[in-house]
Amino acid sequence: MSIRLRLIVMNFLEFFVWGSWLISMGGYMIHTLKFTGIQVGSIYGTMGVASLFMPALMGIVADRWVNVERVLGVCHLIGAGLLLYASTIKDSKTMYVVMLLNNMFYMPTIALNNTVSYAVLKKEGIDVVKVFPPIRVWGTVGFIVAMWVIDFGHWTLSPIQLYVSAFSALALGLYAFTMPACPPVRETKKRTLLSTFGLDAFVLFKRKQMAIFFFFAMLLGAALQITNTFGGTFLEDFKVVYADSFGVKHPNLLLSISQISETLFILTIPFFLNKFGIKKVMIISIFAWVLRFGLFGLGNPGDGLILLVLSMIIYGMAFDFFNISGSLFVEKEADRSMMASAQGLFMLMTNGIGAFFGGAFSGWVVDLFTTNGVRDWSSIWFTFSGYALVLGVIFPFVFSYKHNSEKLKPAIH
């Protein structure tokens, strides 16, 4: 099996694990377990709490002491057991604790997956910016396939979705140990205290443009968390009015158009990054989020279905142009000795602090516009759209970064 195919399998499984529950579990908790919006938002917010320290911690371990692929494998094996246990839980407090523990071991694997991919490609002398996006696109395919499995199995409101995720995590945990060795960097020079504990990645904040980049990555991470948490619930709530519509009968299939869009926009990243640079790419992403939420506010599964489909298509640009492009940008800006730690720091800002506040904020907004159990989704989505619009107005004026296409050419270490 070629190295690219092996990385494709790894990326596919990485996001199959997540896609099995991320989009549908909100509906399961609200409609089956009868949790409130704030409870669901806080449980989804555990991804943010876990990402506050675990990606950075695991990045330290991978940079200093243990092969990256082994850390990746151990994290998935532990997560598999926690997901199985989560499938048996009926109360929100216990679910919060178990999903927090699960996310403590899953969230670091996103950055670790990228780190293994980058390290293996560089070892083979392959252009990371050119070759990684077509490999990473299979992660999105894995996410889509997982959503379809859950939808066609009629498990969107069932704990079976957690069983599917658990068994795929077990498979990936074992598979990770078969990947090419990605050992820690052994340096002969004396390390500082910060370097010893892997905190040297935080020196990136000393550079103004990197500090501003990480700050807005955090705010966009909050935007991502909003649709992950309540996208499925939004469609499920139309059952009374549009019971026979495609979107209500197959919410995961409709929502999966977002991930299908991702697969297309990922392939455009090398062109956009090299042509326009990270600043313009981020601006495009921010205004795509404005449209994503605005079209959700205007659409419905009936005569407004086309607006929902357009929102799903725009999501691919909104997500990829800050998440995948941002990861590649950080990889180019960080020193080789802190590669895993830098990816962990990016995860900390987006899926850590950003996801935490996104979960809390979105849950609060949903409950604010809920009266007697009826949610005013137009007001909810327009509030989120306004949030993204504010970011889009401010970002171009505060982020100064001179694009140099030469920096995005392959760097072999």
Reported as a single tens digit per residue, the pLDDT across 356-406 is 888 888 888 989 999 988 899 999 999 999 999 999 999 999 987 776 655
In a domain, 74, yes or no: yes
The dihedral region occupied by 399, where left means phi > 0, alpha psi between -120 and 50, and beta the remainder, is: beta
In a domain, 234, yes or no: yes
Reported as a single tens digit per residue, the pLDDT across 266-299 is 888 888 888 888 888 889 999 999 999 999 999 9
In a domain, 192, yes or no: no
Residue 318's pLDDT is what? 92
Other C-beta atoms within 10 Å of 266: how many?
25
For 300-323, the DSSP string reads -SSTTHHHHHHHHHHHHHHHHHHH
Residue 230's pLDDT is what? 85
Contacting residues for 271 by C-beta, under 8 A, at least 6 apart: none
Q: What's the rounded mean pLDDT across residues 203-221?
A: 85
Other C-beta atoms within 10 Å of 206: how many?
8
d(CA 312, CA 62): 36
In a domain, 188, yes or no: no
In a domain, 410, yes or no: no
In a domain, 2, yes or no: no
Tell me if 84 sits within 8 A of 305, measured CB to CB.
no
In a domain, 344, yes or no: yes
Domain total for the chain?
A: 1
Residue 411's pLDDT is what? 36
| Domain carrying residue 160 | 7-180+197-403
Q: What's the rounded mean pLDDT across residues 237-248?
A: 86
Residue 113: which CATH number? Answer: 1.20.1250.20
pTM: 0.74
d(CA 287, CA 387): 11
Tell me if 30 sits within 8 A of 233, measured CB to CB.
yes
| 98, pLDDT greater than 70 | yes
Q: What percent of the chain has pLDDT over 90?
A: 45
In a domain, 175, yes or no: yes
